[in-house]
Chain A
Amino acid sequence: MIEIKDLHKSYTIGKNALHVLKGINFNVKEGELVAIMGSSGSGKSTLLNILGMLDVADEGTYTLDEFPIKDLNETKAAKYRNKFLGFIFQSFNLINYKSALENVALPLYYQKVPRKERNETAMKYLAKVGLADWASHLPSELSGGQKQRIAIARALAAQPKVLLADEPTGALDSKTSYEVMQLIQEINDEGKTILVVTHEDDIAKMCKRVVQLKDGVIIEDKYVEQVRASDHV
């Protein structure tokens, strides 16, 4: 599903170049649930952003679903993001003046799905994350865990091939974190490929594979015995 070869990325801050990714090689097959781990500043988000076409690598190749991702202009990138990828952010990034339903329906608006169908689909995914009753609520009326569920529903609504989650539990307490992880596991159980960036061990253990990032390279990449979040709830 995802193949990256010899990926490099530097940031220039003033005159200095900060070499964040120093040759990353890694593949993800369909249906995997991968945790990307590492200390703060190790380049986890940078890697995820490149995978999410929110950022571009300086060097290396990236193939998504046998589709080479390179030289994308903004318009194309937006289209591919919409078609292939769903994002889940640490700070949810819901649009604050839109209701839960409207937030979930928004990716479908950009797919030019008719309004009625859009809202039906959005409702379906809201039900899937257990928030059908909250459809008309604004994000400000929801708890952190609920907001993240809405964000997950939004990410799923466009039926992406891959879900990319950057510290999805970073802003949540551990109980809520486990609930969100349970949802992510369920979605993965249905076959969706998911990458989760985290620096928390217990979250990483709930994935099926853990990739350790340090100083811009992968120092460890191993399959683990998945801990079911439901056991902790």
Chain B
Amino acid sequence: MFNRDSWQEIFETISKNKLRTFLSGFTVALGIFIFVILFGFGNGLKNSFQEFFMDDATNIFRLFPGRTTIPHNGFKTGRFIEFDNDDLAEIQKTFKSKIQYITPRITRNYTVKFKSKSNNYGLRAVAPGHQAAEKTILMKGRYINNEDIENKTKYAVIGRLVEKDLFEGKDALGKFIDIGKRSFKVVGVFQDDGGDNEERYVYIPYTTNQLIEKNTDKLEQIIVAFKPEIGYGGAMNFEEELMTFMKKRHNIHPNDQGAIYLRNVADDLEQNQQFGSLLQMVVSFVGLGTLIAGIIGISNIMVYVVKERTKELGVRKAIGASPRSVILMILQESIFITTAAGYVGLFSGIMLLSSLGDSLDDYFIKNPYINTGTAIFATIILIVFGAIAGYVPARRAARIKPIVALRDE
């Protein structure tokens, strides 16, 4: 029955019943269009979210010193714990096989000055590993390296916005800036996906900072990156071992919760991923809702179409149309319309999404997209259900006896 003749018959019907064709086509096109847009927005939301929460490396522990809360080995409670260079070296030595890199971080605030321009910026005194931990992206020049650490050089790596503020668009590389009272040479400029605040930092070697501060060997935060291949379980074990090790070194009671804090990004990651999947679920749910709405829409239209055509179908049957040919005609017509309209909706939705680009970044929708597979799948779903939706009333119409359909009202 799917021959040229039946197609011709269907094209005739479609083109001579424009309103009906338009109505059913419009529903499907709109359904797919909204689906594509919503799904794309959902993906955009997810992108923004990932950017917020995943701008740092995910395989790291952050150790912060605190105050003891339990007396131990003759030490009273309330003692301040301090990390120093030995801690760094010992951790490195003891857990060599598990550590990818390790870096301290000392945070200060300084007035930074270039010529007549000056501003207040956060200073981070770090080791080279910090670049990976913070996912700092270098725009030009280089990051702090091991020689800087060893030689306690007065080199600084500044954020994109620091350069913009102080150098007013000119190149900062090789220039000297004043950090507090001391002069540093700019060796690198970086950007960071973590947002504007992250790009208003200045990085210097931690050893240089220690030298400036009366040659101290104290550190504040220690960031330990574990090798990703040890996995989530391995990271959990490592976390335990690290805490035990550090508590022992600093004479801390094993049950003391306040003396050293350890933040495990892997835990955050787990939560983030859960939130990510939740977002994905919401997106899918909304998408599904749109599809169902579309299916209900097309079903209603099919019921209406068949009802409107009852008399015509009765005439066709009276002059020799078999029930099968009636069903096929209606199905073929509805599938043709949904396919064509689905394609239109799909295409315009994708076009709109890609034309949006980054214009909705302010609404936390970044780079909205839908992968073609999902979009085509949704369209096929709608076509299939449109066909099923058409089949039910078509079968009913085909079963109506022609006299019932033809009876004069």
Contact = CB atoms under 8 A, between A and B. Distances in A.
Interface of A: 49, 52, 54-55, 74-75, 78-79, 81-83, 87, 89-91, 93-98, 102, 106-107, 109-112, 114-115, 154, 158
Given A87-B318, A111-B320, A54 B402 contact: yes
Nearest to A82: B320
A121 B5 CA distance: 17
B319 A107 contact: yes
B262 interface: no
Nearest to B17: A97
A112 B321 CA distance: 11
A24 B401 CA distance: 23
Interface in B309-348: 311-312, 314-325
B408 interface: yes
B319 A106 contact: yes
A109 B403 CA distance: 21
Given A97-B13, A158-B319, 8 more contacts: A54-B403, A74-B322, A81-B320, A93-B311, A107-B320, A109-B9, A110-B322, A110-B325
Nearest to B3: A112
Contacts of A82: 319-320
A110 B318 contact: no
Contacts of A78: 317, 320-323
Contact of B408 (A55, A90, A110): A90
A55 B401 contact: yes
A18 to B, nearest CB: 15
Contact of A54 (B17, B312, B318): B318
Interface in B1-15: 5, 8-9, 12-13
A81 B17 contact: no
Given A97-B13, A97-B17, A115-B5, A55 B319 contact: no
Given A91-B408, A97-B17, A110 B403 contact: no
For the complex of A and B, 10 pairs with smallest distance between CB atoms:
A82-B320, A110-B320, A97-B16, A78-B322, A54-B403, A107-B319, A75-B322, A74-B323, A93-B315, A54-B402
Given A55-B403, A106-B316, A106-B319, A115 B8 contact: yes
A119 B143 CA distance: 84
Contacts of B311: 93
A221 to B, nearest CB: 25
25 contacts: A54-B402, A54-B403, A74-B317, A74-B322, A75-B323, A78-B320, A78-B323, A79-B320, A79-B322, A81-B318, A81-B320, A91-B408, A93-B311, A93-B315, A93-B406, A97-B16, A97-B17, A102-B12, A107-B320, A109-B5, A109-B9, A110-B316, A110-B320, A110-B322, A110-B325
Interface residues of B, number: 28
Contacts of B117: none
B318 A93 contact: yes
B164 interface: no
Contacts of A54: 318, 401-403, 406
B19 to A, nearest CB: 11
A74 B327 CA distance: 13
A87 B319 contact: yes
A54 B321 CA distance: 12
Nearest to A91: B408
Contacts of A49: 403
A154 B311 CA distance: 17
Contact of B315 (A83, A95, A109): A95
B72 interface: no
Contacts of A52: 318
Nearest to A78: B322
Contacts of A90: 408
Contacts of A55: 401, 403
Contacts of A109: 5, 9
A75 B324 CA distance: 8
Interface string B165-176: 000000000000
A91 B407 CA distance: 10
A154 B9 CA distance: 17
Contacts of B323: 74-75, 78
B99 to A, nearest CB: 79
Contacts of A83: 320
Given A93-B311, A115-B8, A74 B399 contact: yes
Contacts of A89: 406
A201 to B, nearest CB: 22
Contacts of B12: 98, 102
Q: Which of A82, A87, A109, A154 has the most CB of B within 10 A?
A: A109
A96 B20 CA distance: 14
Interface in B376-409: 398-399, 401-403, 406, 408
A81 B13 contact: no
B403 A98 contact: no
Contacts of B317: 74, 78, 81
A106 B321 CA distance: 9
A110 B321 contact: yes
Q: Which of A54, A78, A96 has the most CB of B within 10 A?
A: A78
A100 to B, nearest CB: 14
Interface in B296-316: 311-312, 314-316
Contacts of B318: 52, 54, 81, 87, 93
Nearest to A96: B312
Nearest to B313: A95
